Amino acid sequence: MCVLSIIQSEVVDDTNIELLQDKLNHYLCYILDGQLEKEEPHKYALPKRIELIIGHTQTDTLTNFLEQLVPILSSENISFVLKTE
């Protein structure tokens, strides 16, 4: 498994959801645009997963965002895991 992790210590709300979206878009582009394959060819063939690790309870803003995100990742054969610390 090739796991890319994002640690989000700030509570996700309407004021910063775009920053999280930018981070996730960066990881998605890293996988899909060939940079992962170029930098880590031995990991490229492995199943891919993006993990979001949050240091707070899940907010409605985050829940709504993830409901849109997960199907997009699934369509690219990328799994997603939300972890709470």
Encode pLDDT of 34-81 as tens digits.
999 999 999 988 999 999 999 999 999 999 999 999 999 999 999 999
Rounded to 10 deg, the angle between the 60-75 and 17-32 helix axes is 10
Instruction: Show the domain range for 12.
Output: 2-84
Q: Take residue 59 and report the two structure tokens written for it.
A: 């907010």
* Dist. CA 28–CA 24, nearest whole Å: 6
Order of strands across the sheet with 78-84?
2-8, 48-54, 78-84
Q: Take residue 39 and report the two structure tokens written for it.
A: 């930098």
Total number of domains in the chain: 1
Average pLDDT over residues 13-17: 95
The pTM is what?
0.88
